Amino acid sequence: MNDHGSMRRTAHLTSDEAGLAEAAAILNRGGLVAFPTETVYGLGADATNAQAVAGIYAAKERPSFNPLISHLDSFEAAKVQGIFDDTARTLAEALWPGPLTLVVPTASTCTVSDLARAGLDSVGLRVPAHPLAHALLKATGRPVAAPSANRSGRVSPTDADHVLSDLDGRIDAVLDGGASDVGVESTIVACLGGPPRLLRPGGVPREAIEALIGMRLESGAAGEKNPLAPGMLASHYAPRAQVRLNASEIGPNEAALLYGATPPRGVEHAKAMLNLSESGDLREAAAHLFSYLRQLDASGAETIAVGPVPDTGLGEAINDRLRRAAAER
């Protein structure tokens, strides 16, 4: 057993047709595959499958649910997920495929899960230039969420051995495509109405972007209240209702967000009730978190009372997000 508490064996897949087909099959059944891009190796999961995305957080031991970048094989596929204004379209047409991520409003046809978007109404999209990444995304046929393939806080990996040194036994496979060329993460630009903003410098220089769009990029400061992308303090879906944590009793007309098999007192009086995981599975709970908050908020209750969630493993990230939802605003 590895130190992640799992007997999972990580397959080392070669970049031939068989390896590519196996990597795509693993992603399509909800598994985790590290794969090369021109920037760094990404830890991929089906972005439309919240439980698969929860597996990324578990493998990385990520302390909070930051928005994840979803990778696609073409601009046409990206337009299904997001709404591109003139600036975003100019950048996509000029710099994709390449080391640029665009944060845009979600389209009505968006299939990227709430968990991958951290509950936001925007989505980070990228079309990578690495030929093996492109082939994998085409074979998978859906958006693939892929932060860097390392444990949280460690150095980003630029070859398959780096991935295995950090994640061996934690993920299903690594698709070996040799060393990454760029070696730094993608540049992230937000195009959400108003002037475009540089959220993270990276593989495409600021000057090249400004020359293309004929204007200066505003800067999105790390640590701002409502950040939109990786590398910034995680933003969250803030419900209209107040959020009350560690509730041992549910009051009249409160909505109840529960965890585990033992309900708190007064739950029969709840205006609405959902259970993140009756079996006590933290990965299932993470997958349900944002959608359940939205559903309970839509019930019209003035308060969402949240039962205790263990603060271990993914529970740390779940509780981090719940504390943000409960903060004064």
Q: Which pLDDT belongs to residue 239? A: 86
Q: Which two tokens stand for residue 68?
A: 């994840």
Q: Which pLDDT belongs to residue 180? A: 85
Name the nearest CA neighbour of 297 among 246, 236, 239, 235: 239
Q: Mean of the pLDDT values across residues 235-249?
A: 83
By the 10 Å C-beta count (0-12 exposed, 13-18 middle, 19+ buried), 260 is classed as middle
Q: In this structure, are residues 34 and 160 in contact, taking their beta carbons and an 8 Å threshold?
A: yes
pTM: 0.86
Tell whether the model's pLDDT for residue 222 goes beyond 60. no
Q: Which two tokens stand for residue 122?
A: 């925007």
- Band (234; pLDDT cuts 50, 70, 90): very low
Measured from the Cβ of residue 184, the count of other Cβ atoms closer than 10 Å reads: 15
Q: Mean of the pLDDT values across residues 271-288?
A: 96
Q: Tens digit of pLDDT for each residue in 128-144?
A: 999 999 999 999 999 99
Please state which of the ranges 90-94, 153-157, 216-220, 275-279 shows the lowest mean pLDDT.
Answer: 153-157
Q: Which pLDDT belongs to residue 327? A: 84
Please state, in angstroms and rounded to a whole number, the distance separating the CA atoms of residues 323 and 249.
Answer: 18
Name the nearest CA neighbour of 199 among 185, 219, 214: 219
Q: In this structure, are residues 198 and 219 in contact, taking their beta carbons and an 8 Å threshold?
A: yes
Share of the chain above pLDDT 70, in %: 92
Q: Mean of the pLDDT values across residues 214-228?
A: 68
Measured from the Cβ of residue 287, the count of other Cβ atoms closer than 10 Å reads: 24
Q: In this structure, are residues 309 and 259 in contact, taking their beta carbons and an 8 Å threshold?
A: yes
Tell whether the model's pLDDT for residue 268 goes beyond 70. yes
Q: What is the mean pLDDT of the chain?
A: 90
Please state, in angstroms and rounded to a whole number, the distance separating the CA atoms of residues 270 and 280.
Answer: 21
Comparing 172 with 185, which gets the higher pLDDT?
172
Share of the chain above pLDDT 90, in %: 76
Tell whether the model's pLDDT for residue 172 goes beyond 60. yes
Tell whether the model's pLDDT for residue 126 goes beyond 60. yes
